Structure 1
């Protein structure tokens, strides 16, 4: 990949982040099973290692772990030239511990099932000897069948919108926000390979923006490689950017609020149709419920031409400390 601009360097950095190295195998055994219980069985996992992306708060970005998990699971499929491709069609993940962004992550992948058209994998992301994420993923050969989708929601042309880092920088200037962590977050946004273009104001304290609905367009800063597994992993990476935003906006809370404690708890994703963030994708998000310090986010992802690409769901911790 010939890199000549800052945008291309950002994309190349994301591709490198999602390029995992296989380091061996791990033996997984059920140690407490009775000796006579042979149905529990043992299994062997392929182990991959990936780098961590630095963050202002020192914790690994959840979307990074999701995307690397997708890559690790997909690398255990039959990737020989004559094999029939099996793209990912769903993932279900739990975030268990904060990741350490100063250390790499190991991904142990169990081959749960390889059937005639489906393959299922279980992925454990491990740091310091403990799991930080557990994920199941399913892959399927393409097949003919019944097909339908909802109509695309209305949204403005992304080309007339302001990029997220510019919009947030303007907001910080207007509100006199002078916070080192906020400035670091803004610097990270400016360097990201995936650019975000919010629909409407980025300030949830404005009365007109107090809603449990939120839309934004996303697009890569430069062209992405034409690789099906990598394309799916990058979509998973981007899917974790804003899932809890609709809930916070509904309550007029910003990510700059010093009382806010937020973290992803779980994440589910269904991949319906092919699409790449080399092109514009609309993320249409909502939060139907928040309770007990947790908020649920749901969403759909659309191409400019109105094709439903993916469905998303995530529950997260959203606590306001006194």
Structure 2
């Protein structure tokens, strides 16, 4: 695939990704939670319902980052109209079922609480009447207070590293084409593990990323795009710890849960460094903890993800 064709495909994919964040409000639903015997009903509340399109995927399963970003946008749509300065500061999501990328997704948003400084929302992403993701998100008004952060690692500049699109754009392989045309440009400090294992099996990975075009100025959209991009590479760190690659026969990975803490304003249209480490893999699960820094070394987010990582016997 020629370089200009790769860039064109990346821009088309980014436009598609941003379009999925434009959710349509479709009505309301009632969410009812039942307690255990002897406790009684815990509550019933009205939920705002939105619908969003899915990005077509080669394997037919919804990209986890997409549904995560859409769920955050849906939650924000119920907060910002009344409290426009209240921005997301954390989200905690569980991926419950694989989604069908050929179908739209409905997002039912429960308004759990609006306080003087914080708002809490619970979101269920639904297909075929069943949840594929459940997420809780919290929003906060800007506030003064203590302020510190850890230092960013000393790594090469993204300008000194090769783009993943350039690395794989000319390779005639389905996964290579998918990686090359991501709407997010990735530049791996320690080399990627798409086809070859990492030289060091320490579960550590540092990768620069940014969208291939500028983003809208509103922070909700930018936080959603960060959520979208944050799901591309966490499993890499788990595979690195065992000398594995994405081309490993029998590899079956899937995200189980995903958490983001937003510390400071973020712009994924500018270079961000994702400093990742996998402290543990066991029982078919792996954990990644990562910190996201700007080029100037500002810590904008901390991310944790647990994923299923299984190697099925082949043959």
Same fold (TM over 0.5): yes
Give the gaps of 5 or more residues in structure 2: 1-6
Match of 2:26 in 1: 23
Q: Deviations over 1:109-160 (max 9, x none)?
A: 0000000000000000000111000000000000000010001111110011
- 2:188 corresponds to 1:198: yes
Normalised by the length of structure 2, the TM-score is: 0.91
> Per the alignment, in what secondary structure is the counterpart of residue 244 of structure 1?
helix
Normalised by the length of structure 1, the TM-score is: 0.89
Match of 2:102 in 1: 102
Q: How does 1:1-322 map to 2 (within 5 A)?
A: 6=8, 8-30=11-33, 37=40, 40-80=42-82, 83-168=83-168, 183-203=173-193, 205-206=196-197, 208-322=199-313
CA offset at residue 256 of structure 1?
Answer: 1.3
> Per the alignment, in what secondary structure is the counterpart of residue 314 of structure 1?
strand
> Per the alignment, in what secondary structure is the counterpart of residue 42 of structure 1?
strand
Distance in 1, Cα, partners of 2:133 & 2:198: 37
Distance in 2, Cα, partners of 1:207 & 1:14: 30
Q: Deviations over 1:259-286 (max 9, x none)?
A: 1010000001100001201111000000
> Per the alignment, in what secondary structure is the counterpart of residue 248 of structure 1?
helix
Distance in 2, Cα, partners of 1:207 & 1:73: 39
> Per the alignment, in what secondary structure is the counterpart of residue 227 of structure 2?
helix
Give the gaps of 5 or more residues in structure 1: none
Q: Deviations over 1:282-313 (max 9, x none)?
A: 00000000000110011000000010000000
CA offset at residue 200 of structure 1?
Answer: 2.5
Distance in 2, Cα, partners of 1:67 & 1:84: 19
Worse overlay, 194-203 or 231-240: 194-203
Distance in 2, Cα, partners of 1:89 & 1:293: 30
When residues 8 and 168 of structure 1 are mapped into structure 2, their CA distance, relative to the original with a 3 A threshold, is closer
Distance in 1, Cα, partners of 2:300 & 2:44: 37
Please give the root-mean-square deviation of Cα atoms over the aligned residues, in Å: 2.1
CA offset at residue 190 of structure 1?
Answer: 3.1
- What is the count of residue pairs matched by the alignment? 305
The answer on whether the counterparts of 2:289 and 2:305 sit within 8 Å (CA) in structure 1 is: yes
Worse overlay, 25-34 or 212-221: 25-34
Worse overlay, 209-218 or 43-52: 209-218
